[in-house]
Structure 1
Amino acid sequence: MVKQFRIFLSKFVGETEKNVRDLFADAENDQRTRGDQSDLHVIIFDEIDAICKSRGSTRDGTGVHDSIVNQLLTKIDGVESLNNVLLIGMTNRKDLLDEALLRPGRLEVQIEISLPDENGRLQILQIHTNKMKESSFLAPDVNLQELGMSISEICL
C-alpha cells in the first residue's frame, strides 16, 4: 500500500508534529502486530532542510521548527525502536540540517549526487525532447550536443 502525505506543515499549533507521528503510525502498528515479519515502510522527505533546520536557527520565536525536529528524532530512535522503517531525506542544502539528524542510526548514510557530465546532460535533453521530435515541435537543426555543452558553460 502506498500512502502519500502532500501537506505536511500546518498553521495550527501541534498539527505538524501530529503529521510526523502519523507518518510512522502504520510502521509502528505493523511492527507491534507482526514483529520481525512486518513489511518495510519507506518514508521519503524531499527538501528535508525545509522542516529540519538546525534547532535554534530560526528567529520567529515560536520554536515550531525545533519541535518538528524533536518529534522526528523521537520517532526515529525513541523509546520503541522501529526496525521496519527506511527513512530517506533529500536536500541540496545539507549545511542547514540539524546535526542530530546526521548522527549514527538516523540519517547516517549520505550519498552525494553531483551534476551530470556532458554525456549525462545530452541524455537528459534527448529524453525530454524525444516526444517533441516525434511531433515535429523541435526544429531539425537543433543540435542537442551543442546545447548540452552550452548548459555546462552556463552552470559553471
Structure 2
Amino acid sequence: MKPFLSPLGVPCQQPPWGYVAGADLVSGKVAWKHKNGTIHDMTPFGLPIKMGVPGIGGPIITAGGVVFMAAAVDDYLRAYDLTSGKELWQARLPAGGQATPMTYLNSEGQQMVVLVAGGHGSIGTTLGDYVVAYKLKR
C-alpha cells in the first residue's frame, strides 16, 4: 500500500495535493485555505516549490491562536496564524513529521511544542526516531 506516484516520485494527479484551511465555526464556511508543504523531499532534486503536498497528521492550536502542523510529506514543522492562515515560522525536521504535535509548560513555566519525527514508511518520508521540542517566545 503506497501512493500512486510518477517515476519522478510525485503524485499522478494535478497539484495542489494538500491544503491547510481554517473554518468559520459560526457560518460553517472556509475562512482561508492555503497550499501546505513543498516538493522538497518528494523528488531527487530537492526543490522547495510550494505546491501543497499530501499529509498525514493533525494540527494543534495554542491559546494564542497559533496552529502547529507537521503532517506534510516534506520534513518541516510549520506554524500558522489561526485567523489568517499566514505561515509564521517553519523548522526543518531530521525525519518525517507524520504525527500531531503537542504543547506543554516546562519546569520554568515556558510553553513548549514537541513532535515525534519518526517518518512514515508507506509514504516515503525520511525514517528516524527523534523527539524534537521548541520553546515558544512570548
* TM-score greater than 0.5 by the shorter chain: no
| Higher strand proportion (structure 1 or 2) | 2
Band the TM-score falls in, shorter-chain normalisation: under 0.3
| Higher helix proportion (structure 1 or 2) | 1
Could you say which structure has the greater relative contact order, defined with CA pairs below 8 angstroms and 6 or more residues apart?
1
Could you state the TM-score of these two structures normalised by the residue count of structure 2?
0.23
